[in-house]
Structure 1
Amino acid sequence: MMKTAAKLLDDYLLRFRTPEEAAALFAEDGALELPYLADLGMPVRYVGREEIAGLLTRLLELVPDWMFRDREIVIDTPDRVMAEYKVDALTAGTRRPFRQHFFGYAIAANGQITLLREALNIVETARAFFPNGLADLLPAPIIEEQNKTLVLDALDTLFNKKDFDKAKQLWSDLYIQHSRHVPAEREGLFGLVRSMPDIRFEYDMAIAKDEFVWVHSRYTTSSAPAALIAVDIFRIEDGKIAEHWDVLQDEATRDESAGGYPMFGDAFPNAR
């Protein structure tokens, strides 16, 4: 009796870790298709046992502990099967989790797979394999605008709203601080803000490029006679503020200004 589509799919999932054996389940001109790989800039169709074995070998290099589990049949006829199955392993390159819920549709003829078409979660794939996760899939202007929005929201959340719980979600727990005036790491920054309960942040310019955001800002507090005008530079990683540099000056009044123009906005502060 020739193997059904369901039996062939089960054998494929079981033998995946031995690419030549898994590829041998396909007809000579059988195909493995993963249409969503197009979003990653990869070929989506692999035809013939040699190409299929080559793809599986490459996938095992990327995820050495790749093993399918939790297979559930959704549709089952002798020559067609649709099933769901999962993978949960670490990638070799980033050491991030690769968690996937696959949907597979297989067609069989003469006891061989003629087509296996699989769908996977491209967002989770990007997070697992790419250095910047999903950001590496989106056009630069979109990412840069998102980074700028993140930074401005983070500064308002921390300095104006004093919402430290939310701020923890916006600053990396590995935050690097390059400022002369601000203590090291995320808790150093948060501790400084806690020590100045009336500190306020405002900005008049923000620019983003690649993973960096520059903000021209003003910080005021009753404990300082003059506001601080800053150019803050932030580096974003994995959707959080990961690193910070700044250049700071006391805000000049009209009498103190050598250049004759305000340092922030279009008006000088009141004389001190």
Structure 2
Amino acid sequence: METLLPVTTQNMTHDNKNIVQQALTALVATGDVNALAPLLSEDFLHHRPDTTSQTKPEWLAAVGAALAPLTGMQVEIQHVLADGEHVVMHSRRRLPDAGPEITVIDIWRLNDGLIAEAWEIIEPVSQAAANLTWWEIR
């Protein structure tokens, strides 16, 4: 007789966090977007801060095009937080040869074990101080 664990938010959160970590590890380790593709749903959407979105093929093509100049990029994951179907990752990334450092927030929504949506916010570390007081009247 097979014992099934009840599906809980805690189990789902842990599984979703592992899926996102697996996807990013595969991408960074291989530099090949094809390692990431099976973990994305067919109706995957990547949302940008400028309100545009990309479909799975569009986003994979954009990531693939961006990877060549980023070969050797260092990725330091600061936090990975998960709650239900959402996973948030905060990382710092540095381009090779002492290139500029950026801070990235990725937000992932998963559905049925696949990444269904992603949001990404990128800020150059050198510009962080200027963005700390954006709400002040100048």
Identify if the C-alpha distance between structure 1 residues 212 and 196 changes in structure 2 by more than 3 Å, giving closer, same or farther.
same
Match of residue 144 from structure 1: 13
Larger RCO (CA under 8 A, 6+ residues apart): 2
Tell me by how many angstroms 1:178 deviates: 1.2
Q: In the alignment, does 2:74 pair up with 1:205?
A: no
Match of residue 172 from structure 1: 41
Verify the 8 A CA contact 1:160 1:199 in the aligned structure 2: no
Match of residue 158 from structure 1: 27
Q: In the alignment, does 2:116 pair up with 1:242?
A: yes
Q: In the alignment, does 2:96 pair up with 1:227?
A: no
Alpha-carbon distance in 2 for matches of 1:174, 1:188:
16
Q: Report % sequence identity.
A: 23
Aligned residue runs from structure 1 range 256-267, under 5 A: none
Verify the 8 A CA contact 1:218 1:230 in the aligned structure 2: yes
Tell me by how many angstroms 1:180 deviates: 5.0
SS in 1 for 2:31: coil
Verify the 8 A CA contact 1:155 1:201 in the aligned structure 2: no
Identify if the C-alpha distance between structure 1 residues 139 and 147 changes in structure 2 by more than 3 Å, giving closer, same or farther.
same
Identify if the C-alpha distance between structure 1 residues 199 and 225 changes in structure 2 by more than 3 Å, giving closer, same or farther.
closer
Match of residue 86 from structure 1: none
Tell me by how many angstroms 1:194 deviates: 3.8
SS in 2 for 1:225: coil
Q: Output the TM-score relative to the length of structure 2.
A: 0.70
Unmatched tracts of structure 2, length 5 or more: 131-138
Verify the 8 A CA contact 2:33 2:60 in the aligned structure 1: no
Alpha-carbon distance in 2 for matches of 1:149, 1:235:
13
Q: Which amino acid aligns with 2:65?
A: G
Tell me by how many angstroms 1:140 deviates: 0.8
- Paired residues, what number? 122
Alpha-carbon distance in 1 for matches of 2:121, 2:115:
18
Match of residue 84 from structure 1: none
What RMSD over aligned residues (CA atoms) do the two structures have, in Å?
A: 3.1
Identify if the C-alpha distance between structure 1 residues 220 and 192 changes in structure 2 by more than 3 Å, giving closer, same or farther.
same
Identify if the C-alpha distance between structure 1 residues 165 and 247 changes in structure 2 by more than 3 Å, giving closer, same or farther.
closer
Tell me by how many angstroms 1:244 deviates: 0.9
Alpha-carbon distance in 1 for matches of 2:69, 2:15:
30
